[in-house]
Amino acid sequence: MDSGDQAFRKANPKGRWAEMTYGGALSFLRRPYSRDLNGVDVAVWGVPFDNAVTYRPGCRLGPRAIRAASAQLAELSAFPWGFDPFDVLAVVDRGDVMLDPHHPETVAPTIEAEAATILASGARSLALGGDHFIAWPLLQAHAAQYGPVALIQFDAHGDLWPDDPGRVDHGTMMGRAITEGVVDSACSAQVGIRTFHDQDRGLEILTAPWVHRHGVDAVIEILHARVGTAPVYISFDIDVLDPAFAPGTGTPVAGGLASWQALEILRGLKGLNLVGLDVVEVSPPFDVSEITAIAAATVAHDWLCLLAEAKGARHVPVGRL
Q: Give residue 1's pLDDT.
A: 65
pLDDT in tens, the chain (321 residues): 688 899 999 999 999 989 999 999 999 999 999 999 999 999 999 999 999 999 999 999 999 999 999 999 999 899 999 999 999 999 999 999 999 999 999 999 999 999 999 999 999 999 999 999 999 999 999 999 999 999 999 999 998 988 888 898 898 889 999 999 999 999 999 999 999 988 899 999 999 999 999 999 999 999 999 999 999 999 999 999 999 999 999 999 999 999 999 999 999 999 999 999 999 999 999 999 999 999 999 999 999 999 999 999 987 777 777
Q: How many residues appear in the chain? A: 321
CATH match for 44-310 among 3.40.190.10, 2.40.10.220, 3.40.800.10, 3.40.50.2000? 3.40.800.10
- Three-state DSSP state, 275: strand
Residue 310: C-alpha distances to residues 1, 152, 206, 263, 274 (Å): 30, 19, 26, 18, 10
Alpha helices in 27-106 (DSSP H): 62-69
Q: How many CB atoms lie within 10 A of CB 301?
A: 21
236 to each of 24, 105, 158, 230, how far by Cα in Å?
28, 24, 12, 18
- CA–CA gap between residue 45 and residue 113 (Å, rounded): 13
Of 260, 266, 251, 278, residue with least CA distance to 305? 266
b/e burial code for range 246-276 (CB count within 10 A of at least 16 → b): bbbbbbbbeebbebebbbbbbbbbeebebbb
- 312, with CB counted inside 10 A (0-12, 13-18, 19+), is exposed
Strand ordering across the sheet containing 91-96: 91-96, 42-47, 124-129, 273-280, 231-237, 150-154, 189-193, 204-207
For residues 216 and 317, what is the distance between their CA atoms, to the nearest angstrom?
20
- How big is the CA angle at 164 (ends 160 and 167), to the nearest 5 degrees? 85
Q: How far apart are CA 126 and CA 173, in angstroms?
A: 19
Asked if 301 contacts 29 with a C-beta cutoff of 8 angstroms, the reply is yes
Distance CA(246)–CA(200), nearest Å, equals: 26
Single pTM value for the model:
0.96
Q: How far is CA 31 from CA 4, 12, 14, 185, 285, in A?
A: 12, 9, 8, 34, 25
Report pLDDT for 165.
82
3-state helix, strand, coil in the chain (%, to 5): 35, 15, 45
In sequence order, which residues have a C-beta less than 8 Å from that of residue 319 and are 6 or more positions away? none
